[in-house]
Structure 1
Amino acid sequence: MSIPTEVAANAATRSAGPGARPPAGGPRRRRGSLGVQNLAGWLFSTPFLVLFGVFMALPIIATLLMSFTDFRLRDVTDPFHARFIGVDNYVKLFQDDKFLTALFNTAYFVVVGVPLTIVLGLLAALALNNGINRARTFFRIGFYAPVVTSIVAVAVIWRFVLDPQDGLISGLLAEIGVTAPDFLGSGALAMPSLIVMAVWRNLGTVMVLLIAGLQAIPAEVREAGRLDGVGTWQELRRITVPLLRPTLLYATVITTIGYLNVFEEPFVMTQGGPGNHTLTVSLHMYREGFNFFHMGYASAMAYVLFVVILAITALQLRLLKDNTR
C-alpha cells in the first residue's frame, strides 16, 4: 500500500527535526500541478467562451439596451443613432391590444397544452413500461419520432391533414357523409388544432423522461404495496405518482418553457389567424422586429416574455424543491 505524497512529506519533515523544510516535491509541486491543470482547462474552454460571448452574451445585452430605444431599420448601420426613450416601449406593450391578445393566446396554449402533454405522456410511459411487452422498442420509436422530426415539416403535414377540402380528416369524414369543419380557418377550432398537433409532437419527450423515472422506482416498493393489498389504481395514485413527482415537475418545466415560446406552429399553419386567434407572443415579436422593423419594441416584448418564463420556471422549481426534501 503506497503512502500519499503529503503524508510522506509530513513524515519526512517530522523525522528531520523541527527546523527542517519539507521536501521539494511535496505540497508545492501539487499546487503547481493544479495551477497547470486549471490553466489548461481555461485554455480548452476559451473557444467556447469566445463563441458564447460573441453570439450569445453580446446579443442578449444589446437586445436589453435596444429595448429602451426606438431602434429601427435606419439605425442598423449606426446603432448609436437610436434615440433613448426609457420604458416607453414597455408601457406601450400593455396598451397594445394585439400584444394582450397574443399574451392571452399563449397562456391558453400553455394552460391547455401542458397538462394534456404530461397526462398523455404519463399514460404512454406506463403502457410501455408495464403493459406492452411485445414490440416495445417499435412503439417507443414511434412515439419519439415526431420529436426528432423538423417542426416545419410536421406543421406542413398537419396543415394538409387538417385541410377542409383535400385533407385526410375531410376524406375520412366524407366516407360517412359528414362535412369536415375548417379546422384552421375557424376562430373556435384553430387554437385547439394547434394544441393537438403540439401535444402529439411533444408527447414523446415527456414519455422518455417518465419511463426513466418509472424504471428508477425500486421494485421492492411496488412489491410491498401489492403485499398490502394495494390495487392498480391505488398503486398509481399512492406509490407511482408521488415517487415520480420530481420527474413530472421537471417534464412540466421544460414543456412549459417550450410552449411559452410557441412560434413555428402558428407561423407555418395559420400565420396567426384567423383574426389573431392563434397569434402568440413569439409570432407577434417576430412580426414587429422583422416585418415592421420596430426592433426596440420587439426587444421589449422579448424581455417581457423572458420575465414571464423566468417567473413561472422559478415557481415550478420551488415546488420541485419543496416536494423532494
Structure 2
Amino acid sequence: MAPDPSSVIRNPPPRQGARAFRYRLAAAWGFSLPAALVQFFFGWLPVAFAFVVAFQQYYFVKPPEPIGWKNFVDVAADPLVVNAFRNTFLYAALSVGLTFLIPVFVSILLMEMPGRTIRWMMILWFIPVASTASIAIWKYMYHFRLGLLNGMLTAVGLPPQKWLDDPNLAMMSLILPGIILFSPGLIYIAALQNIPEELYEAAELEGAGFLQKVRTVTLPRMRPVIAMMLIFSVIGSLQVFELPFIMTGGGPGYATQTVVMYVYSLAFAGYNLGKATALAVVLFFVIMAVITLQRRLVRENIDE
C-alpha cells in the first residue's frame, strides 16, 4: 500500500528536517551577525570604553593614569556644567513643546483636506533636506543687516532684531528652524491613514463633532506612534549639538551652550578627555532617567 503523501509532508524524514533547521540557523546568523558586529564595535564597545576613560586622566601621547572619581567631582563643581544642563533642558522643553506637538495637530487638520492637498503635503515633507546646509541657511536668514527675517520686519515698520546675538532671543531662534527641519508629519499622516474609517462613522452616528472625534478616536489610535516619536524627540533634544554649534557657537556668552557642546569643548579645546567623558556619562544616565520616567507616564496601549 502506497504511503499517504500528506503524512510525508507533515512528518518529514529526520535527516531532511535537521538539514532545513541548519539552513534556517545559518541564514539567521548570516543576516544578524553583521548588524550585531556593527552594534558591538560602534555602539556598546565605545560606551564601555567611555566608562573606563571617565575614571582616568587621559592623555594623547602617554598612557592614562587612574584617578578614581576626580573627573566626576570636577564635573559636579563646574558652574558651566549647571549652565549647560539648564540650557539643554530649556531647549528640550521648547523643542518638544513646539517641534513635536505642532506636527501632530497639523497632520490631523491635513487629513480633513482633499486627497490632492494631502499628497502634495506628503511630498513636501518627504523632500530630503541636508540638515547642516539648512542650518547654515537659517544662520544667514537671522543676519542683522542682510537677513530675511529682519527684512520682513523692516518692511512692515518694525525694528530689526539681533536674533542670535541677544541672550533673550537666541534660544528661541534655535527652536524655529527645528519646526521646519524636524517634521515627523509624514509618519503621523501614515498612522492616520491606518485608522479604520468605521470608527469615525460610528462616532458621527453618536453625534461627535470634529474635536470629539480627535479626542476619542484619533489621538488614542495614534498613541503608540506618538509615544515612539516622543522618545526620539526627547533623546535628540537632550543630545543637540550641530544646531547651536553652527548658529551661535554656544553664545552669546554661554546662553546657548548645551551639554554636548561643552563635552566637545572640554575634549577638543581643553584636551581634558577624562572630564569630558565623565560629563558624557552623566548625560547618559540623565537621558536614561528621563526616558524611564517618560515610559512610566506616557501610555502606549491604545485601549488604556
Answer whether TM exceeds 0.5 for this pair: yes
Matched, 1:197 2:177: yes
Partner of 1:58 in structure 2?
45
Of the three residues 281, 289, 294, the one matched with 1:311 is: 289
Hey, what's the Cα distance between the residues in 1 that align with 2:275 and 2:53?
A: 8
Match of 1:88 in 2: 70
2:223–2:299 CA contact under 8 A, matched in 1: no
Q: Distance in 2 between matches of 1:309 and 1:55?
A: 19
| Structure 1 residues 181 and 140: CA distance shift in structure 2, 3 A | same
Quickly say closer, same or farther: Cα 1:50–1:122, change in 2 above 3 A: closer
The within-5 A match list for 1:210-229 is: 210-229=188-207
Which of 64, 68, 71 in structure 1 is aligned with 2:58? Answer: 71
**Percent of aligned positions with the same letter in both sequences?**
31
Tell me which stretches of 4 or more aligned residues in structure 1 moved more than 6 Å: none
Q: Does 1:175 align with 2:155?
A: yes
The answer to which of 171-180 and 299-308 deviates more is 171-180
| Partner Cα separation in structure 2 for residue 118 and residue 221 of structure 1 | 26
Question: What corresponds to 1:30 in structure 2?
Answer: 17
Which residue of 112, 132, 137 maps to 1:157? Answer: 137
Cα distance change, pair 56–250 in 1 and its aligned pair in 2 (3 A) = closer
Q: Quick check: which has more Rg, 1 or 2?
A: 1
Over 3 Å counting, the alpha-carbon distance change for 1:121 and 1:32 in structure 2 is same
Corresponding letter in the other structure for 1:121 = P
The Cα of 1:321 is off from its aligned counterpart by 5.4
Compared CA separation, residues 5 and 308, structure 1 to 2 (3 A): farther
Query: Secondary structure at 2:85's aligned position in 1?
Result: helix
Report the CA distance shift for 1:27/1:319 in structure 2 as closer, same or farther (over 3 A).
farther
CA contact (8 A) 1:6 1:27 kept: no
What is the rounded CA distance, in whole Å, between the counterparts of 2:46 and 2:101 in structure 1? 37
Q: How much does 1:189 deviate?
A: 0.3
CA distance 1:210–1:2, shift in 2 (3 Å)? farther
Matched AA of 1:86: G
User: Deviation of residue 144 (structure 1)?
Assistant: 4.0
What letter corresponds to residue 6 of structure 2 in structure 1? I
* Of 3, 7, 10, the match for 2:6: 3
Equivalent of residue 82 in structure 2, options 100, 105, 112: 100
DSSP-derived class of the 1:134 partner: helix
Specify which of 23, 37, 41 is matched with residue 28 of structure 2: 41
CA distance, structure 1, for counterparts of residue 30 and residue 225 of structure 2: 36
Alpha-carbon RMSD across the aligned residues, in angstroms, is 2.2
Check whether the contact 2:71–2:275 (CA below 8 A) recurs between aligned residues: yes
Cα offset for 1:289? 1.1
Aligned to 2:210: 232
Structure 2 CA distance for aligned equivalents of residues 210 and 8 of structure 1: 47
Secondary structure, aligned partner of 1:235: helix
1:295 to 267, 270, 273: 273
* Contact map agreement 2:266 2:273 (CA 8 A) in 1: yes
Q: In structure 2, what is the equivalent of residue 143 of structure 1? A: 125
TM-score under structure 1 length normalisation? 0.84
Number of residue pairs matched by the alignment: 300
CA distance in 2, matches of 1:59, 1:165: 45
For 1:321 and 1:174, the matched residues in 2 are separated by 47
Residue type of the alignment partner of 1:191:
M
For residues 44 and 252 of structure 1, the distance between their equivalents in structure 2, rounded to whole angstroms, comes to 30
Letter of the structure 1 residue corresponding to residue 86 of structure 2: F
Distance in 2, matches of 1:95 and 1:109, equals 23
Matched residue, 1:272: 250
Distance 1:46 1:268, change over 3 A: same
TM-score normalized by the length of structure 2: 0.90
Do the aligned partners of residues 118 and 276 (structure 1) sit closer, same or farther apart at CA in structure 2, a change above 3 Å counting?
same
Residues 247 and 8 of structure 1, relative CA distance in 2, 3 Å threshold = closer
* Partner secondary structure for residue 74 of structure 1: coil
Structure 1 distance, partners of 2:229, 2:7, is: 45
For structure 1, the residue ranges without an aligned partner over 5 or more in a row are 10-25, 76-80
Deviations 1:283-303 (A, max 9, x none): 111111112221111111111
Q: In 2, are the aligned partners of 1:209 and 1:251 still within 8 Å (CA)?
A: no
Q: Determine which of 164, 167, 174 is the counterpart of 1:184.
A: 164
1:132: how far off?
A: 4.2
8 Å contact kept, 2:96–2:234: yes
Map residues 237-276 of structure 1 onto 2, 5 A cutoff: 237-276=215-254
Classify 1:228/1:27 alpha carbon distance in 2 versus 1 (closer, same or farther; 3 Å). Answer: same
